[in-house]
């Protein structure tokens, strides 16, 4: 306990960096997922092909490979050198965004066909149909998987320590080197990762419940038990890594 | 400095050597995850032990596998090969995921099936072996397949504990020749070459099993 | 702790003195079943004679299905004792006293009882033949050849000889239910429990299943407990009808009397409601 208390400020700094990378990466992933996911539901085959290429390519490559490519290869062919943090956000956002796009596309397509037919009967424009009818219903279905994806992104953010960003993993590595206390150094970091994950899970569950309430669906059970329920694995779009 | 095709071709054999290690680690680690995950899923149904197993694997599931690798690598005696450590940690980490898949598969078997087993007085071994698992397995094959691909894409982490997999090779080439572009691009392409076709196969399986 | 233990065993011990006579194959003795605060069976007493066919009727929630599920040991009992063949089903003897049965006792005890479910509950991963032979081979230890022969005979009895190698998903609901009947009979049970076996069927498939059951009723002396909404079937096959309400027997008697001249107000209004809708 003493070990952890004395070095708490250092770990907190690391946790802040981890959180920053997670939040920025998630934001990028979210925007990409929404745009590419919606494009994937269009009738235009060219637009759909672009969406497919993006999702297949960035789901297929490991985030770590992307990261090294941005950090080490890009400076070689362009005059730009990306800051390590930016390279991390970019690699994580592009990778997880590809998974998210699949989630968005599947969720929109899963809205019952009758809903689309109703909007056609009401002569709604495509934009209004998407914004007012399809997305609000798909949203409730996307959120649980988004929650899983954010946890995965947060865990994957540990790779930025490999390009010298001072995140939680990096702090733990340094602590181990300076103190030689392997168990305490890494154990403290893992406990903090665990805490961040629980925080994110609770946050996502709150969003889920709000989305369901807005659709007039009663929350499954509510209360603390529901917040702590285990995740839904193996959703039909697959879980991200 | 631009793309150098000749150099790129010259490093392919080295990268492929790394790819072999990558695939090796994936396959063995996956087998560990499949077996251990099943054990975890069943243990979670046992009184008293169940909740403990749940918390332990929930912890493993929500903390980065990279940190787990570094942690075990630092603790293990130097006689243990890094590849062994890497495979074990990946296997245990993914067991946390496969356990969830098995659990949902087992819970997906209708309650009436259990009741029919009781009505026929079937012994537990038959209940699990002939009724519950055969039905659960059909439901878990696609998600389990997805985790094989996920695991393949997590093997680059092993480079952090000096396992000579593809990423390790790419980095070594980059440092030696002062050229990173070719090695990392090729590594990325090799990843795509394995994971995209695998994903297509998994989706086929998914559709086939969903149809039955 | 000590005191409460001796009290509870004393109570059950007293009850074990009233062991059922030979004229009874099933006996419910002060049976209580609760779901949370909801009392489904309230100190229920009734018994069934060997070879007797009893139909349980009553409004939904009156505990009819619970009785079958308790007999099949799919539910645990909250009070009282259930006896089958003079042996306790819900409990077992230990040192002259009755204690709650463990899984081994239940596995042995329920071998004399078969059940057909509302939702069929066939094993979808097995062929019709495997469905019917699974129990005899793996729970009774019958030889494979013999079990196969028995399966063929029984499928012939339910009129599905040609479907022996089909899978349940390829069959209609009525056919699935007839396989389920064959599967239950393959265990050679002394007691057959029929839990709303036609409720999940399309109307045109009901008759085929009921015909099979009528046939079994006429040609065997198997004891049957039957929960059903098919009143004409109940009138045809049963020796006795029990009308349930609020976890107790409201009225009982031969079918002619219950259906023709019910005494209780509850029975009258129930029968009126059922016959009007049917």
Strand duo C191-195 + C223-227: pairing: parallel
- As for the ipTM of the complex, it is 0.86
| Phi then psi dihedrals of residue C270, to 5 deg | -65, -50
CB distance A239–B187 less than 8 Å? no
- Count of other CB atoms within 10 angstroms of residue B24: 15
Q: Count the Cβ atoms, other than its own, within 10 Å of residue C120.
A: 25
Q: What are phi and psi of B164, to 5 degrees?
A: -80, 60
pLDDT in tens, A52-100: 999 989 988 889 999 999 998 888 878 888 899 999 999 999 999 999 9
Whether A240 is covered by a domain: the verdict is no
**Lookup: tokens for B165:** 């997999």
Q: What is the pLDDT of residues C174-224, one digit of tens each?
A: 999 999 999 999 999 999 999 999 999 998 999 999 999 999 999 999 999
Contact B104 A162 (CB under 8 A): no
Q: B37 — contact with chain A (CB < 8 Å)?
A: no
User: Contact at 8 Å (CB) between C31 and C71?
Assistant: no
- Ranked by mean pLDDT, the top range of A134-143, A191-200, B137-146 is A191-200
User: Which of C74, C107, C117 is closest, CB to CB, to B121?
Assistant: C107
Structure tokens at C87: 């042996």
Residues of C in contact with B122 (CB under 8 A): 134-135, 138-139
Domains of chain B, by residue range, sit at 5-211
For residue B2, the chain A residue with the least C-alpha distance is: A77
Q: Please, which residues 2-61 of chain A have a Cβ atom closer than 8 Å to chain B? A: 56-57, 59-61
Rounded distance between C-alpha atoms, residue C25 and residue A99, angstroms: 62
Best CA proximity match to C53, nearest among C179, C227, C246: C227
C-alpha to C-alpha distance for B145 and B105, rounded to whole angstroms: 14
Question: What is the 3 state secondary structure string of A129-185?
Answer: HHHHHHHHHHHHHHHHHHHHHHHHHHHHHHHHHHHCCCCHHHHHHHHHHHHCCHHHH
User: Are B100 and A233 an interchain contact pair (Cβ–Cβ within 8 Å)?
Assistant: yes
Chains A and C physically touch (3 or more Cβ atom pairs below 8 Å):
no
In chain C, the domains with their CATH numbers are 2-277 (3.40.50.300)
Give C39-66 pLDDT, tens digit per residue. Answer: 899 899 989 999 999 999 998 878 899 9
Interface residue of B30, B70, B178 to substitute, partner A, most A CBs within 10 Å? B70
Q: Which residues of A62-71 are buried (b: 16+ CB within 10 A; e: fewer)?
A: bbbbbbbbbb
Note whether B184 contacts A189, CB cutoff 8 Å. no
CB contact under 8 A, A65 and B191: yes
| Residue A234 within any structural domain of the chain | no
Q: How far is CA C92 from CA A5, A94, B23, in A?
A: 58, 64, 57
Residue of B115, B120, B123 for testing the chain C interface, max C β-carbons within 10 Å: B120
Neighbours of chain B (3+ CB pairs under 8 A): A, C
- Non-local CB neighbours of B52 within 8 Å, separated by 6+ positions: none
pLDDT at C16 over 70: no
**Predicted pLDDT at C158:** 94
User: Does residue A112 belong to any structural domain of this protein?
Assistant: yes
Q: What is the DSSP string of A193-229?
A: HHHHHHHHHHHHHHHHHHHHHHTTPPPSS-HHHHHTP
Look at residue A56 and tell me if it is in a domain. yes
The dihedral formed by the CA atoms of C149, C153, C159 and C162, expressed in degrees to the nearest 10 = 20
- Who wins on pLDDT, A229 or B43? B43
A163-167, A227-231, B46-50, C176-180: segment of lowest average pLDDT: A227-231
Q: Tell me the residue range of the domain where A193 lies.
A: 2-227
- What pLDDT digit, counting tens, does each position of B141-183 carry? 888 888 998 899 899 999 999 899 888 898 888 888 888 888 8
**Optimal mutation site among A238, A239, A240, interface B, most CBs of chain B within 10 A:** A238
**CATH label of the domain that carries residue A86:** 1.10.3720.10
Interface of A with B in 188-227 (CB under 8 A): 189-190, 193-194, 197-198
* Predicted pLDDT of residue C161: 93
Beta carbons of A239 and B146 less than 8 Å apart? yes
Is any Cβ of chain A less than 8 angstroms from the Cβ of B119? no
CB of C84 within 8 A of CB of C191? Answer: yes
Most B CBs within 10 Å: which of C75, C89, C121, C181, as the mutation test of the B interface? C121
- Partners of chain A (3+ Cβ pairs below 8 A): B
DSSP designation for B160: G
Find the closest chain A residue to B153 by CA distance.
A62
Distance between CA atoms of C33 and C248, rounded to whole angstroms? Answer: 11
CB-defined contacts A:B, below 8 A: 143
Q: What is the spatial distance between Cα B118 and Cα C111, in angstroms, rounded to a whole number?
A: 9
Q: What is the mean pLDDT of residues A99-105?
A: 93
Model confidence at C277, pLDDT cuts 50, 70, 90, reads: low
> Per CATH, which fold does B5-211 belong to?
MetI-like fold (1.10.3720)
- Phi, psi (rounded to 5 degrees) for A34: -65, -50
Please tell me the distance in Å from B119's CA to the nearest CA on chain A: 32
Q: Determine the residue of chain C that is closest to B126 in CA distance.
A: C138
Q: Answer whether B120 sits within 8 Å of C125, measured CB to CB.
A: no
**Does residue C107 surpass a pLDDT of 60?**
yes
Q: Count up the domains in chain A and report the number.
A: 1
Length of chain A: 241
- Number of neighbours of residue C121 by Cβ within 10 angstroms: 23
User: Rounded to whole angstroms, how far apart are CA atoms B6 and B182?
Assistant: 10
- Closest-CA residue of A relative to B192 is A60
Which among C193, C184, C117 has a CA at the least distance from the CA of B113?
A: C117
State the Cα–Cα distance between residues B61 and A194, nearest whole angstrom. 9
C-alpha B158/C-alpha B178 separation (Å) is 23
Contact C89, C109 (CB under 8 A): yes
Which DSSP string corresponds to chain C?
A: -HHHHHHHHHHHHHHHTT---TT-SEEEEEEEEEETTEEEEEEEEEEE-TT-EEEEE-STTSSHHHHHHHHTTSS--SEEEEEETTEESSEEEETTEEEE--HHHHHHHGGGEEEE-TT----TTS-HHHHHHHHIIIII---HHHHHHHHHHHHHHTT-GGGTTS-GGGS-HHHHHHHHHHHHHHT--SEEEEESTTTTS-HHHHHHHHHHHHHHHHH---EEEEE-S-HHHHHHH-SEEEEEETTEEEEEE-HHHHHHS--SHHHHHHHHHHHHH-
Asked whether the predicted pLDDT for residue C11 surpasses 80, the reply is: no
Listing from the earlier edge strand, what are the strands of the sheet with C38-48? Answer: C38-48, C26-35, C79-84, C87-88
| C213 vs B47 pLDDT, higher one | C213
The interface residues of chain A toward chain B in range 69-108, judged by CB-CB distance below 8 A, are: 69, 72-73, 76-77
Residue A113 is assigned to a structural domain of this protein: yes
Q: Which residues of B touch C184 (CB under 8 A)?
A: 119
Subunits next to C (3 or more Cβ pairs <8 Å) are: B
Measured distance CA(C26)–CA(C190) in Å, rounded: 11
CB contact under 8 A, B140 and A234: yes
């Amino acid at each position: 306990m003493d070990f952890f208390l004395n070095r708490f400020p250092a770990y907190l700094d690391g946790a802040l960096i981890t959180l920053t990378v997670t939040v920025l990466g998630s934001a990028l992933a979210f925007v990409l997922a929404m745009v590419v996911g919606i494009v994937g539901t269009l009738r235009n085959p060219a637009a759909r092909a672009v969406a497919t290429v993006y999702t297949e390519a960035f789901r297929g490559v490991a985030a770590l490979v992307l990261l090294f490519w941005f950090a080490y290869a890009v400076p070689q062919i362009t005059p730009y050198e990306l800051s390590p943090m930016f390279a991390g956000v970019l690699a994580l956002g592009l990778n997880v965004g590809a998974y998210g796009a699949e989630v968005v596309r599947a969720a929109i397509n899963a809205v019952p066909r009758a809903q689309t037919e109703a909007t056609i009967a009401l002569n709604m424009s495509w934009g209004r149909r998407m914004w007012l009818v399809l997305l609000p219903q798909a949203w409730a279905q996307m959120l649980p998987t988004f929650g899983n994806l954010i946890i995965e992104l947060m865990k994957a953010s540990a790779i930025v320590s490999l390009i010298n960003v001072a995140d939680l993993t990096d702090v733990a590595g340094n602590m181990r080197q300076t103190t030689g206390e392997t168990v305490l150094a890494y154990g403290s970091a893992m406990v903090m990762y665990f805490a961040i994950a629980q925080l994110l899970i609770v946050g996502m569950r709150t969003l889920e419940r709000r989305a369901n309430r807005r659709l007039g669906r009663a929350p499954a059970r509510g209360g603390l038990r529901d917040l702590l329920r285990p995740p839904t694995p193996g959703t039909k779009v697959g879980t991200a890594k | 400095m631009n793309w150098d095709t000749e150099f790129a071709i010259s490093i392919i054999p080295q990268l492929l050597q790394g790819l072999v290690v990558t695939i090796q680690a994936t396959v063995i680690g996956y087998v560990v995850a499949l077996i251990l995950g099943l054990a975890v899923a069943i243990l979670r149904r046992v009184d008293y032990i169940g909740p403990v197993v749940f918390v332990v694997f929930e912890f493993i599931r929500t903390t980065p596998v990279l940190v787990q690798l570094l942690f075990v690598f630092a603790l293990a005696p130097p006689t243990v090969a890094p590849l062994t450590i890497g495979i074990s940690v990946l296997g245990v980490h993914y067991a946390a995921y496969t356990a969830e898949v098995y659990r949902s598969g087992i819970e997906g078997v209708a309650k009436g099936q259990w009741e029919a087993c009781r009505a026929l007085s079937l012994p537990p071994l038959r209940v699990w072996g002939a009724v519950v698992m055969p039905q659960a397995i059909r439901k878990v094959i696609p998600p389990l397949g997805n985790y094989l691909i996920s695991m393949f894409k997590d093997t680059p982490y092993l480079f952090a504990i000096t396992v000579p997999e593809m990423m390790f090779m790419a980095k070594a080439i980059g440092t030696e020749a002062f050229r990173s572009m070719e090695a990392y691009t090729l590594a990325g392409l090799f990843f795509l070459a394995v994971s995209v076709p695998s994903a297509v196969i998994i989706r086929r399986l998914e559709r086939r099993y969903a149809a039955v | 702790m000590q005191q409460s233990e001796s009290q509870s065993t004393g109570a059950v011990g007293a009850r074990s003195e009233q062991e059922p006579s030979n004229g009874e194959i099933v006996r419910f003795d002060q049976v209580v079943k609760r779901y949370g605060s909801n009392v489904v069976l309230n100190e229920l007493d009734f018994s069934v004679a060997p070879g007797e066919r009893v139909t349980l009727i009553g409004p939904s929630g009156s505990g009819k299905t619970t009785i079958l599920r308790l007999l099949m040991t799919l539910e645990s009992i909250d009070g009282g004792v259930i006896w089958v063949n003079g042996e306790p089903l819900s409990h077992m003897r230990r040192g002259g006293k009755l204690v709650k049965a463990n899984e081994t006792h239940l596995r042995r005890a329920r071998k004399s009882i078969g059940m057909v479910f509302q939702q069929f509950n066939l094993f979808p991963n097995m062929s019709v033949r495997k469905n019917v032979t699974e129990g005899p081979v793996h729970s009774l230890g019958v030889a494979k050849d013999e079990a196969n022969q028995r399966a063929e005979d029984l499928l012939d009895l339910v009129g599905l000889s040609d479907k022996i190698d089909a899978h349940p998903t390829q069959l209609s609901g009525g056919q699935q239910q007839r396989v389920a009947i064959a599967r239950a009979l393959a265990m050679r049970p002394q007691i057959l429990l029929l839990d709303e076996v036609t409720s999940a069927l399309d109307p045109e498939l009901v008759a085929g299943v009921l015909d099979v059951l009528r046939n079994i009723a006429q040609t065997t002396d198997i004891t049957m407990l039957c929960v059903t909404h098919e009143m004409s079937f109940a009138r045809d096959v049963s020796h006795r009808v029990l009308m349930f309400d609020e976890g107790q027997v409201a009225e009982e008697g031969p079918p002619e009397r219950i259906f023709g001249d019910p005494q209780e107000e509850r029975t009258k209004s129930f029968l009126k409601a059922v016959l009007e809708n049917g």
